[in-house]
Each structure stands twice: as structure tokens, then as C-alpha cells.
């Protein structure tokens, strides 16, 4: 068992490791170093503190050094930064940031959990003091102080990943006008484009101005405002900007001490989370993990994996030999009234591999439709062909998303296939779900695809020459339809078979994919060649939502930022 364990970084991974280690070993000497003022603070809660949902700043502090010492007998040293690791002597060099005094500490085992830092590319003007990043409590304090002091009206958020979108929502909630600038053509770049489209529409409805496919070329600051120059030539005038264009692992200490850094730029660790030095372990945002689905090395900076890795390292220091099996990137995000969640890999990532996959879209209600308040969810499921191994899931909806993504994530972890999803017995009563839950439905549809019960086609594969029949009622068609589609309601289909060609493939569409499936069963058994468009018109809308997003009001929102303050 370890005698003297030093831990660098006192938040998600570091604090978890320290607490678990103490629970397993009452005798070990544990010292936790944190260069910031606080340990174990809720960095995930920072955007909500800025937005005012979390009113009491103290609630962000999950532990204090005093309480941690009392509960776990850990020597916590905040405002102490590690300057170097002298591996040959098994020592670290520390500076006490309060006194400026430098000192060294010996270790038997060392745990690195230094996290990641916001990316700050060398864009002209990036060091302007009206540009903020969000990493710790002091960053949130600075933004809050700035908003109060300058009575700000407009903010630009650069980067539309989850931190950027959370900041955009919370700044809007503070009453600011907010623009989001994103270099790629969608928000939440870890999701697939057609799913993100649903978020674009909603952000627009919430008066967020979106500049997609446009990067920042430079910032310029005057006494009273910040100008954000875009590569397209546009200039946005605002009070301040929040930079959230990703994070980079903090590997300086590791690199300088000669530890191996992986190809993705994170600290390389083995499956026991041991670095290239057997006496040094590393966890959290700073390490390269194995992508649970693809098996490749990846950087997946999330709190859950960091916490679990901290625990595993403590186990391993106590001789338990626990393997970290990889990170599947299960993530969830509130975007105003919507929730966006994903687990596993995306289709755009799969396209870069040679994995044979299929996908499906379903749009079920989060509980039975007859019980008041049912809300639609949009689910995309990716799976291998023909085995049905679950590769990834993306869900967007206003209710019930969190529960479904966790069931999918658990099924993936357990190595279940889409066939197994059909059998899951999930809790049901009208206010909560359906006898055939959305997860079961995804399994039924996937199994139907894989066993040939119906042939699937996707809207992005549709050609203008393809023959499409929309089997919805004519009143539904009047509210919007795929151009050129012939309308034959499913209930009339059996009487109108003579209108249909036998020499070409009939593509069937409906509202969400249920009626087109029934229609495909009728036609297939009558000898027609048919394909069902996955997810029906709801999926079609997801693919084409950007047209709505470019509507007049979206332009007006953007114009606000192009005028002086």
C-alpha cells in the first residue's frame, strides 16, 4: 500500500482520488495540491451561477479544505502550484502562491489531475480585457462583476460547444442580447448536423443570433465596447465576449518531466491509468482515454469520467487492479426549453472509419399521448450492420431525454445490441412513459431494418428523381410536405394499388415513420419495391430546418450586432 501520495489538482479527478484513497487506506499520507483558491468546486455549475439560477455562490463549493481535512484527513494545500516533477528523486517542486515560498515534497506515488485549460488561439486582440473564458469560480466572478459594473447589454459567445451554449443561455437569462459565433456549420459539433439543426431553430426562437460557418479573425477594444471581427468580414459590436472554443489538456508538468504524451496531446496512460512512469498516475481532462466505441485514443473532457478515473486510481494504489475501460462521451445539455444529449459516437465520426453501420430516426412522445403534457423527442440511433451493436445515440427534446439517454448509455456499456433494446422492461405508467418505451421502439425499428422486415432510406440519400409517396392525411400535407411527393393516405393504399409503379422503388414517407412502415408492409407483401424514409417528415424537417433558421427574424437578430452600442 502507498505510504505518501501527492495529488496535483483538487477538483473532479483529484478530490475523488483523495477521498477514495482515504476510505481504502487510513494510514496513507495524502497531500492534495491545488493552485486555485478552492477545491472540489462545481465547475459544471458556473454558467448557471452567471445566469442567476444558482444564486448562492457558496453552493458551488462542494468541499472546503477544512471540511475535507476533518472528514478525510487529507492535507489540502490550496494556492499551492506545482512547478516541476523531479521523477529521478521522486519529488515535486511547489510554490506557495500566497507567500511566494518554494519548497519540495517527496512522494511514493503521484497522481496528476491538472485538468484542461480553455483554448486561446493567437488571434489579434485576444488578450483584450473584455474577453473572458470560463474555467473556475474566479472566471465566473469576473464575468458577473463586469456585467454589473458596465451595465452590459450585448455579449458575443465564441464557440458553440456545450459550455458556449450554456453561457449563451445564461447570459440571455441575465437579460443580455447574445450572439454565438461558430466556425463550423452547426452548434454542438459533437452531434450530427441534422440533430443540431433542431437546436439552431430553438436558439433562434430564444433570440440568440447565430453566426455559423464563420470564425473570429480578430478583436479590437475601445473604452466602451469590443468589436469582434469575423472571417466573413462582418464586425460585431458588443460589451464583452466569452471564449469557449474548446479546451486543451494541461500537460506542461507531465511533458517537462519526460512523461509520454499521446498523439491527441493528452498524457498517455495505460488501462490502469498509469503514466509511462509506474509511480505516477494521471486522470481527468489531462489524459488520453480509449474511445469506448471506436477503440482509438481520444480526448473526452467530462466530469463523470474524471471522477470515476480518480476513484479507479485510488483502487489501484491499494492493489485492486481495476481497469478503466474507456469513455463513451455520454453528455447532456440544457438549451433553453430543449435538452440535447448524446452517448457514443456520431455518424460524422463513423464516416471516417470502415465500420459498416446503419442509422434510424424516431420521434416518439416522452410519455403516452393521451396523458396531458406529452412532448416529442427526436432520437437518432447508430448501430453496426448486421450485428446491431449500438454505436451511438443522439436525442433532442424537451422532456424525458435524460432518462432515455441513460438507458441507451447503460445498454451500450453492457454490450447490448439493438435486438436487446426490444426486450428491456422499463418502468411505465401514463405520466412517465409508454408500454413500448422510446428505447424499445428504437430497438423494434432497428431490428426490423436488420432482419429485412422493412427497407430504410434517409432523406439525405433522396434524389429529386426518386418517387415518393406521402401516406399522411391530406390535412397534414397542407401544413408542409416533401416537394413532388404523391399523397395517398395509408388507409386508402389498398384500394389504390393500381396507381403504383411496379418497375421502380417507391419511397414512403409519413409524419414520424410509423405509417410509412405500415404502408411498406402492405406494399412489400403485394410485390412492390419499397423503402421507408426513416423518421418521416419530422426527420425531413430536421434536415431542412436551416431554411427556417435563415428566416427574416434571424437576420434581424444578427443585424442588432452590426450596429454600434
Residues making contact with ligand FAD (CB under 6 A)? 8-9, 11-14, 33-36, 43-44, 46-47, 81-82, 113-115, 134-135, 163, 250, 253, 284-286, 301-304, 306
* Ramachandran angles phi, psi of 496, nearest 5°: -115, 25
Sign of torsion over alpha carbons 408, 413, 418, 422:
negative
Cα separation, 309 vs 290, whole angstroms: 12
Q: Specify which residues 506 forms β-bridges with.
A: 467, 530
Measured from the CB of residue 140, what is the shortest distance to ligand FAD in angstroms? 8
Cα separation, 513 vs 440, whole angstroms: 15
Cell 422486415 appears where? 453
Measured from the CB of residue 36, what is the shortest distance to ligand FAD in angstroms? 4
- Check if 44 is active-site: yes
Residue 121 CB neighbour total at 10 angstroms: 10
DSSP H or E segment with residue 70:
helix 65-72
Measured from the CB of residue 298, what is the shortest distance to ligand FAD in angstroms? 13
Annotated catalytic residue within 44, 264, 318, 562: 44
Task: Output the CA–CA distances (angstroms, integers) from residue 132 to 101, 151, 152, in the order listed.
Answer: 30, 16, 14
Cα separation, 108 vs 25, whole angstroms: 14
Which residue, 84 or 544, has its beta carbon nearer to ligand FAD? 84
Measured from the CB of residue 322, what is the shortest distance to ligand FAD in angstroms? 18
Which residue, 288 or 437, has its beta carbon nearer to ligand FAD? 288
Cα separation, 153 vs 240, whole angstroms: 9
Measured from the CB of residue 495, what is the shortest distance to ligand FAD in angstroms? 54
Which residue, 142 or 353, has its beta carbon nearer to ligand FAD? 142
Cα separation, 362 vs 139, whole angstroms: 40
Cα separation, 124 vs 128, whole angstroms: 9
Residue with the CB atom nearest ligand FAD in the bound state: 284
474, 499 Cβ separation under 8 angstroms: no
Measured from the CB of residue 180, what is the shortest distance to ligand FAD in angstroms? 15
Which residue, 62 or 548, has its beta carbon nearer to ligand FAD? 62
Which residue, 257 or 448, has its beta carbon nearer to ligand FAD? 257
Number of H helices, E strands in the chain: 16, 30
Which residue, 307 or 422, has its beta carbon nearer to ligand FAD? 307
What are the catalytic residues?
A: 44
Amino acid at each position: 500500500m502507498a505510504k505518501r501520495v501527492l495529488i496535483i489538482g483538487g477538483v473532479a479527478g483529484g478530490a475523488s482520488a483523495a477521498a477514495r484513497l482515504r476510505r481504502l487506506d487510513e494510514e496513507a499520507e495524502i497531500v492534495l495540491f491545488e493552485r486555485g483558491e478552492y477545491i472540489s468546486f462545481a465547475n459544471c455549475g458556473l454558467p448557471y451561477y452567471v445566469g442567476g439560477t444558482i444564486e448562492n455562490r457558496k453552493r458551488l463549493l462542494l468541499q472546503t479544505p477544512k471540511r475535507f481535512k476533518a472528514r478525510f484527513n487529507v492535507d489540502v494545500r490550496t494556492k499551492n502550484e506545482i512547478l516541476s516533477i523531479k521523477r529521478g528523486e521522486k519529488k515535486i517542486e511547489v510554490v506557495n502562491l500566497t507567500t511566494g515560498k518554494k519548497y519540495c515534497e517527496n512522494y511514493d506515488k503521484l497522481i496528476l489531475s491538472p485538468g484542461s485549460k480553455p483554448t486561446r488561439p493567437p488571434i489579434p486582440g485576444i488578450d483584450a480585457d473584455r474577453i473572458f473564458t470560463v474555467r473556475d469560480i474566479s472566471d465566473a466572478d469576473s464575468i458577473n462583476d463586469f456585467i454589473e459594473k458596465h451595465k452590459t447589454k450585448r455579449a458575443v459567445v465564441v464557440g458553440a460547444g456545450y459550455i458556449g451554449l450554456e453561457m449563451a443561455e445564461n447570459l440571455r437569462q441575465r437579460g443580455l442580447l447574445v450572439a454565438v459565433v461558430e466556425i463550423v456549420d452547426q452548434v454542438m459539433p459533437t452531434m450530427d448536423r441534422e440533430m443540431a439543426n433542431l437546436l439552431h431553430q430553438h436558439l433562434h426562437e430564444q433570440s440568440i443570433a447565430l453566426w455559423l460557418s464563420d470564425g473570429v479573425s480578430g478583436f479590437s477594444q475601445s473604452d466602451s465596447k469590443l468589436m469582434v471581427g469575423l472571417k466573413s468580414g462582418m464586425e460585431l459590436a458588443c460589451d464583452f465576449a466569452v471564449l469557449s472554443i474548446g479546451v486543451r489538456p494541461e500537460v506542461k508538468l507531465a511533458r517537462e518531466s519526460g512523461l509520454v504524451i499521446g498523439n491527441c496531446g493528452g498524457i498517455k496512460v495505460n488501462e490502469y491509468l498509469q503514466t509511462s512512469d509506474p509511480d505516477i498516475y494521471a486522470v481527468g481532462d489531462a489524459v488520453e482515454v480509449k474511445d469506448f466505441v471506436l477503440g482509438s485514443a481520444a480526448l473526452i473532457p467530462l466530469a463523470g469520467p474524471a471522477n470515476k478515473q480518480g476513484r479507479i486510481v485510488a483502487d489501484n494504489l491499494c492493489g485492486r487492479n481495476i481497469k478503466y475501460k474507456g469513455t463513451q462521451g455520454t453528455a447532456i445539455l440544457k438549451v433553453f426549453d430543449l435538452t440535447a444529449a448524446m452517448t457514443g459516437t456520431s455518424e460524422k465520426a463513423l464516416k471516417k472509419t470502415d465500420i459498416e453501420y446503419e442509422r434510424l430516426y424516431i420521434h416518439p412522445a416522452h410519455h403516452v399521448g393521451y396523458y396531458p403534457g406529452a412532448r416529442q423527442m427526436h432520437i437518432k440511433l447508430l448501430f453496426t450492420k448486421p450485428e446491431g451493436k449500438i454505436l451511438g445515440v443522439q436525442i433532442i427534446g424537451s422532456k424525458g431525454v435524460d432518462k432515455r439517454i441513460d438507458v441507451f448509455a447503460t445498454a451500450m456499456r453492457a454490450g447490448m445490441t439493438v435486438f436487446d433494446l426490444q426486450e428491456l422492461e422499463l418502468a411505465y405508467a401514463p405520466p412517465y412513459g409508454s408500454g413500448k418505451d422510446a428505447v424499445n421502439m428504437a430497438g423494434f425499428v432497428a431490428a426490423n431494418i436488420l432482419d429485412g422486415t422493412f427497407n430504410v432510406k434517409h432523406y439525405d440519400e433522396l434524389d429529386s428523381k426518386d418517387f415518393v409517396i406521402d401516406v399522411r392525411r391530406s390535412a397534414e400535407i397542407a401544413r408542409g410536405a416533401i416537394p413532388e411527393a404523391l399523397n395517398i393516405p395509408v388507409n386508402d393504399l389498398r384500394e389504390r394499388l393500381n396507381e403504383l409503379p411496379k418497375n421502380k422503388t417507391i419511397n414512403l414517407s409519413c409524419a414520424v415513420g410509423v405509417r410509412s412502415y405500415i404502408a411498406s408492409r402492405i406494399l412489400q407483401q403485394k410485390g412492390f419495391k419499397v423503402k421507408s424514409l426513416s423518421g418521416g417528415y419530422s426527420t425531413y424537417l430536421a434536415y431542412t430546418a436551416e431554411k427556417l433558421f435563415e428566416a427574416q427574424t434571424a437576420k434581424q437578430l444578427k443585424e442588432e450586432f452590426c450596429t454600434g452600442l
